[in-house]
Structure 1
């Protein structure tokens, strides 16, 4: 164990080959959940895992589990993983790194003829991004009991297609029940998606906690009218109301520093014509903070402020909170094993809180869980310009290897 390292070039080549599926002109990836491109990525992962001697299980939410047998297969497995779906203009590493780092751990165990006491699994979680089917992390949420199966399968995209329908269409509506499987531990390796590790010249982020999040959908309804003859004082312009709320969302984030984030990322204007006053606007709000009390204060400020703005603009408002993921403290033993592996390997590191949500957040409710962060260039993610250094990716995978083997042999 002391001198074993993963195969850095193989990990990189695997990431680059997966990145070609849905590759974009600017060097990123677009594999929205349950599209044909997502199916291609899943098929490639399954083939690689079968070639590595794994058995494959797919559950009813399309989550994939590739198992490498242990000496005692009655023991619960140590599981690694993340997701293969991307944002519309995503990068090659977000989520994908955690999946393929898990595969590389299994390949390294095979290379060195190491038999772990407990089984080891690499996993893929369906629709982590929530970009096509909101909310995010829905399938790991079903696994952990946050959502029921009917809710998960009924999530629909903007065209009305549901996850259940699309899972069947691409051939990943599995037979296995979702959840009810014991994990000895779960580890998720991931790029940081922020600038802290790079700014501080640290190799590894030992993730102790994850921020809480709330997602909302708002619809403002006014009155469509001609842009020329309609006097300004009598207009009921839904887009003006939305603009005021969007500015308020940004102020809520700025007023709750440090650590608060507040974002409007999706906006639909109807009828979306240059000479018609907008009669309806649909938009989303995303607020985050690692302290649940402050997150509640941000929620209250958003609700009260949006109501006031809508009333002043004489607009009707539909306000829905569609998702709440409380702050997550990760398992101390798993966190300690990541920190210990990092120190044994001689990598610089720091403890940190994840600003993004991850499948590990839900899995932590049903299994001991931790995460491993590695730097990404300029902290950029959810962007085709997302970049990570092969040495950093290999370092995170080496840490993952040690932590997983330790837990599998305990």
Structure 2
């Protein structure tokens, strides 16, 4: 067991609950979507806490927030740690926010000890991880790692027609004193704490999940185009009913793709019909597909089959399938994973290896530097819901493990990458 706490657990919990007040919903959750007034307010509060401790804020063209504890060697690749501050419309207090606040607490506790690390320690809050207001998600980390073009990101619009570019400009105007840095600077390593968003840790009565990697994900937008008609006069055999075509497709997709094996995750989460009137045959349907699997070969085959099925069941309507996200499964850095497991053991926490079923920004960072994740349990595995909950002791345990790995990496005289970087 460690003789001295590496973090202030009470301060961490108090600040996490204070952050949850921004965008709080009547049911106890959080609605703090990307680049909204709520996220601007969250930035203001988090930047205030960081500045009090001597950390320096900065941002980039993608609206990522960086809070830097300066190291002794400015040329050494920095250690990034964090997550995201945006939420689902009916999200919880912990998804994303716990990772940012744990990272901030670890960095502040390090600064308070007066121990100046060799390399910069940078707490990061990535822009639009959730993808609830602007699709697709993880725009900030994808822009940072060069996987998505910034010009294309700025053109995406929300349901009200507001573009990412307009919202980004508004965010930056709210912080004229926060300097901008280049998009996509060199990183030594990256670490992210997150609630599991699943039931495995709780079921195993385990406090720390050592994340082995993230299962692969593909998303699509499907457009079905038919023709409007009068519900009372147009014969069934003459109809080009876009909603009927959707019903055929959805049934076939759930049966064929959803039944591939026990590990497949197939979801149609959003459907919009036009004109959406009770007595008009729908002329247009747009729907989303979310497909996940840990085996990239299975994921690719399923993705190809989706296209086949959509075209098979569309007639007499037309269909257009637009891929949005294509993220293969990845494996996290073995040395960082070993450090997480050892820190857990030293602090007396139970730990287990676990694959992430949900996507995270760490997926993209793992392509440019050694990266890893720490999971903590959440009640009933529930997330993206207002009753999402993590116990204070679990939040503190995860943050303490993160702080231990932080100290190990931040004080190394050579880059952590020298120990080996595993790509999936």
| TM-score, with structure 1 as normaliser | 0.96
Contact 1:236 1:315 in 2 (8 A): yes
Q: Counterparts of 1:246 and 1:199 in 2: how far apart (Å)?
A: 33
> Runs of at least 4 residues of structure 1 off by over 6 A?
none
Q: Counterparts of 2:304 and 2:342 in 1: how far apart (Å)?
A: 41
Contact 2:227 2:284 in 1 (8 A): yes
Larger CA deviation: 208-217 vs 105-114: 105-114
Q: How many pairs align? A: 407
Q: Which structure 2 segments of 5+ residues have no match?
A: 413-424
Q: Secondary structure at the match of 2:397?
A: helix
Q: Counterparts of 1:404 and 1:106 in 2: how far apart (Å)?
A: 8
Deviation at 1:73, TM superposition (A): 2.9
Contact 1:12 1:390 in 2 (8 A): yes
Q: CA RMSD in A?
A: 1.6
Q: Given the alignment of the two structures, is residue 175 of structure 1 paired with residue 180 of structure 2, yes or no?
A: yes
Which residue in the other structure is 1:362 paired with?
364
Q: Given the alignment of the two structures, is residue 102 of structure 1 paired with residue 106 of structure 2, yes or no?
A: no
Q: Counterparts of 1:81 and 1:318 in 2: how far apart (Å)?
A: 37
Q: Counterparts of 1:356 and 1:320 in 2: how far apart (Å)?
A: 22
Equivalent residue runs for 1:128-167 within 5 Å: 128-167=129-168
Q: Given the alignment of the two structures, is residue 221 of structure 1 paired with residue 225 of structure 2, yes or no?
A: yes
Larger CA deviation: 20-29 vs 241-250: 241-250
Please point out which of 318, 339, 342 is paired with 1:337: 339
Q: Counterparts of 1:277 and 1:195 in 2: how far apart (Å)?
A: 43
C-alpha change, 1:201 and 1:251, in structure 2 (3 Å) is farther
Q: Counterparts of 2:411 and 2:163 in 1: how far apart (Å)?
A: 41
Larger CA deviation: 48-57 vs 228-237: 228-237
Q: Counterparts of 1:340 and 1:152 in 2: how far apart (Å)?
A: 40
Deviation at 1:252, TM superposition (A): 4.2
Q: Counterparts of 2:137 and 2:3 in 1: how far apart (Å)?
A: 38
Equivalent residue runs for 1:214-363 within 5 Å: 214-311=218-315, 314-363=316-365
Which residue in the other structure is 2:418 paired with?
none
Contact 2:267 2:290 in 1 (8 A): yes
Q: Secondary structure at the match of 1:57?
A: strand
Q: Secondary structure at the match of 2:288?
A: strand
Q: Which structure 1 segments of 5+ residues have no match?
A: none
Contact 1:252 1:298 in 2 (8 A): no
C-alpha change, 1:357 and 1:220, in structure 2 (3 Å) is same
Q: Given the alignment of the two structures, is residue 400 of structure 1 paired with residue 402 of structure 2, yes or no?
A: yes
Which residue in the other structure is 1:190 paired with?
194
Q: Counterparts of 1:107 and 1:28 in 2: how far apart (Å)?
A: 27
Residues 61-113 of structure 1: per-residue CA shift (max 9 Å, x gap) = 11111011223333222111111111111111111111111111022213433
Q: Secondary structure at the match of 2:266?
A: strand
Deviation at 1:205, TM superposition (A): 0.7
Deviation at 1:253, TM superposition (A): 4.8
| TM-score, with structure 2 as normaliser | 0.92
Q: Counterparts of 1:334 and 1:235 in 2: how far apart (Å)?
A: 59
Q: Counterparts of 1:249 and 1:49 in 2: how far apart (Å)?
A: 48
Residues 321-340 of structure 1: per-residue CA shift (max 9 Å, x gap) = 11211111111111111111
Q: Secondary structure at the match of 2:82?
A: strand
Q: Counterparts of 1:249 and 1:45 in 2: how far apart (Å)?
A: 44
Q: Counterparts of 2:351 and 2:221 in 1: how far apart (Å)?
A: 38
